[in-house]
Amino acid sequence: MKFNKVLDNCKIYEAGKPIELVVRDYGVDPKDIIKLASNENPYGTSPKVVEKIANLSKNMFMYPDDSMYELKEALAKKFNLTSENFIIGSGSDQVIDFLVKAKCDENSKILVSKTTFAMYEIYGRQAGATILKTKDDEHNLSQFEELYKKEGADIIFLCLPNNPLGECLDKDEVYKFLAKIDKETLVIVDGAYQEYAKYKDVKKAIDPADLIEHFPNTVYLGTFSKAYALGGMRVGYGIGQINIIKTMYKLRPPFNISTLSLAAAIEALKDEEFVQECIALNFSEMKRYEEYAKKRGFSYIESFTNFITIKFDSDYISSEVAQKLLEKGIIVRDLTGYGLNAIRITIGSREQNTKVFNTLDEVFKDLQKQENI
């Protein structure tokens, strides 16, 4: 059977390994498994959200409010905009899909950093677009500008902070770059981890209202999956000028998030205290990973997110380290697929992280013994 030719060049997105797989394949007790591969909030969801959802379970037979009025109004208040500036998606990646479909075809070009969120390229290739990549793994705006001048682009993706590496550009340098971009080029600023970046360094903070006012060709992406701890609910959003949002609505299917997801997101916005507590704990625990890497002589990328990327250079092979950890019940993200000898570890709770450090010590001893055999 023949399918659309553009799918020949499309890769399948590889999500973090689920706990069920480790139980099934390695016989590890579920209570002993630590999942630190998908950048979920290790402190769980706000108790207020849990209580709200429990009380709503009786309404699961009903469709959600397709206007998503209450959620958009809450977001509008948070960001000092109007509800018409927002579109809600099943995760922010669905909003990416809307944007790519709205802007691209087989004659289009999309410009991205060499190592960044894989779905930018996947959605781009689904549309038949050509993907342009910079030479450096981390965001290098000089290389972005050079490629843009040479090749042009219909869409530019800036992941701020960047997943899967963790680095983040300063707002001022981003704005200087955006000022050089043609108004017909759509620039998508992915702020999935902006809550963390803003907390750690105010110079990294992107204010969506200010962004779209100064640069009407931009769209800002946000999510409830990370700092708000609603990864399982799949709620994201896009913020842009009203004309862009209206165009995306032509692509949005009805009821694209569930009744419970909608309620959870609305309630999560009411508990900013919980979010800030989680972020503070995140960076406190991240210091332990930095100290561990230094003690071991490994390099790492300074992170403005809820994860850290540790590089092994020629000391160890990241895929072997990740596999050994997996066998011991600890799930991390191997970055071999991105061409890096590195692993990405979500910052867990204090207890989880202590177990990670102890297990890593065991893994390195095991690997050294194998080399000496």
- In three-state secondary structure terms, 233 is helix
In this prediction the pTM is 0.93
Domain 5-43+273-372 has CATH 3.90.1150.10: yes
Ordered by start, the domain boundaries in the chain are 5-43+273-372, 47-272
Total residues found in the chain within this entry: 373
Give, in order, the Cα–Cα distances in Å from 292 to each of 41, 295, 297, 318: 21, 5, 9, 16
Domain 47-272 has CATH 1.20.1250.20: no
The tens-digit pLDDT sequence of the chain (373 residues) is 777 777 777 777 666 667 777 667 666 777 878 999 999 999 999 999 998 888 877 777 788 889 999 999 999 999 999 999 999 999 999 999 999 999 999 999 999 999 999 999 999 999 999 999 999 999 999 999 999 999 999 999 999 999 999 999 999 999 999 999 999 999 999 999 999 999 999 999 999 999 999 999 999 999 999 999 999 999 999 999 999 999 999 999 999 999 999 999 999 999 999 999 999 999 999 999 999 999 999 999 999 999 999 999 888 999 999 999 999 999 999 999 999 999 999 999 999 999 999 999 999 988 875 655 5
The tokens for 252 are 């949005």
DSSP 237: E
The answer to whether residues 120 and 165 touch, using CB atoms and an 8 Å cutoff, is: no
Nearest Cα neighbor of 345 from 358, 354, 334, 337 is 334
**Residue 159 bridge partners (DSSP):** 190
